């Protein structure tokens, strides 16, 4: 059975291996021992912290195969971004050049550097190892965060974003960054991406153009990837869109990948989730796949299972095996939502 749980110090070797496997463009998992250990420590502190407002907390989860103990993937939630380090985006907007006397009216796309998402919560660090990209594992790893958000809403903002990887080739070269590098930087994309991942963002403020960039002045290759996702990221985008996320014109400053957003209360899985009381026994026939989590913070557990919740009432029957995985007993509460 697959289970989601908070990361712990002993998961470091698996997290490091996933950082290596994730490749270029995965800013939140840089191949850096000190930073990864710091991420684990920060997550442990966040799960133990008593708070009812979003702050500088980061919750890092792992997906574990309970039959082998192997860590298969990871995902995370940031309570509020940009409170300590500036959180940059480009916003794709428009300006109008017009002259009534000459009969000229022209709309031009521009990219403006901004910090508009400061203080919002973020879905991040989603990576599932290739051998485990099957059944409902990917959906569990991504969508269980919505059950966590629903259960501990006071710890998060009323808006949630997700930055999606933009277009780059197998060597990590981004057409968008190549244009920026040529005109403003002397740092290649993998290096800039890595520096951001380890928290060294000062160069952005120092070297990034401060004035709006006219999109028409970019290379054709750079223009074509603005707001586009990496081939491997399309399933993640489709999943988020099905949950109610949409792009409001904000893109990554390095690869121009889109950032999508949603009001927390409008996210489908959160909106449709239910809190039910556990009964342990034989699950009825005619079941459907559901996400299910306990309601504990520090001992949070989530999984997916074939369940048959009643249309009305506040109880649900789960198997003894699932109860063990979720660390719940009869009479405890769980949260469920269709997968």
- What tokens does 107 get? 């709309």
Query: Rounded to 10 degrees, what is the CA torsion of 118, 230, 18, 335?
Result: 60
Please confirm, yes or no, whether 89 is among the known catalytic residues: no
- b/e per residue 73-87 (b: at least 16 CB within 10 A): bbbbbbbbbbeeeeb
Sole residue written with tokens 């959906």:
139
One DSSP character per residue, 29-58 reads S-S-HHHHHHHHHHHHHHHH---SS--S-E
Instruction: Judge whether 157 and 278 are in contact, CB under 8 Å.
Output: no
- What tokens does 322 get? 């699932």
Residue of 97, 83, 260 lying closest to 166 (CA atoms): 260
d(CA 295, CA 318): 15
Q: How far is CA 22 from the centre of its chain?
A: 14
Exposed (0-12), middle (13-18) or buried (19+): which is 326, by Cβ within 10 Å?
A: buried
The sign of the dihedral angle between the CA atoms of 188, 193, 199, 205 is positive
SS3 label, residue 91: strand
Which of 24, 89, 91, 230 is flagged as catalytic? 230
DSSP-derived letter for residue 291 is E
SS3 label, residue 286: coil
d(CA 261, CA 129): 25
Question: For residue 206, what are the CA distances in angstroms to 110, 203, 210?
Answer: 21, 5, 9
d(CA 38, CA 180): 31
Catalytic residues: 230
């Amino acid at each position: 059975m697959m289970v989601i749980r908070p990361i712990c110090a002993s998961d470091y070797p698996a997290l490091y291996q996933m950082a290596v496997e994730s490749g270029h463009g995965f800013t939140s998992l840089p191949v850096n021992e000190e930073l990864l250990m710091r991420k684990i420590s920060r997550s442990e502190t966040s799960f133990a912290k008593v708070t009812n407002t979003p702050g500088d907390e980061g919750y890092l989860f792992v997906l574990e195969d309970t039959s082998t103990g192997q860590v298969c993937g990871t995902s995370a939630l940031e309570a509020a971004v940009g409170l300590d380090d500036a959180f940059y985006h480009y916003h794709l907007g428009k300006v109008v050049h017009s002259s009534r006397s000459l009969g000229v009216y022209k709309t031009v796309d521009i990219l403006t550097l901004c910090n508009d998402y400061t203080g919002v919560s973020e879905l991040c660090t989603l990576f599932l190892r290739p051998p485990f990209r099957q059944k409902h594992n990917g959906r569990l790893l991504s969508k269980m965060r919505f059950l966590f958000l629903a259960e501990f809403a006071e710890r998060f903002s009323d808006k949630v974003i997700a930055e999606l990887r933009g277009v780059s080739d197998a060597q990590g070269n981004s057409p968008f960054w190549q244009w920026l590098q040529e005109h403003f930087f002397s740092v290649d994309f993998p290096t800039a991406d890595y520096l951001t991942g380890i928290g060294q963002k000062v160069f952005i403020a120092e070297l990034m153009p401060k004035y709006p960039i006219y999109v028409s002045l970019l290379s054709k290759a750079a223009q074509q990837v603005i707001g586009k996702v990496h081939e491997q990221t399309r399933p993640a985008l489709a999943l988020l869109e099905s949950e109610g996320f949409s792009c409001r014109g904000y893109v990554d400053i390095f690869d121009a990948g889109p950032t999508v957003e949603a009001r927390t209360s409008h996210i489908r899985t959160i909106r449709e989730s239910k809190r039910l009381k556990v009964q342990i026994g034989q699950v009825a026939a005619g079941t459907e796949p559901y996400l299910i989590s306990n309601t504990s913070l520090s001992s949070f557990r989530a999984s997916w299972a074939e369940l048959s919740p009643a249309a009305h009432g506040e109880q649900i029957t789960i198997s003894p095996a699932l109860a063990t995985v979720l660390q719940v007993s009869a009479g405890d509460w769980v949260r469920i939502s269709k997968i």
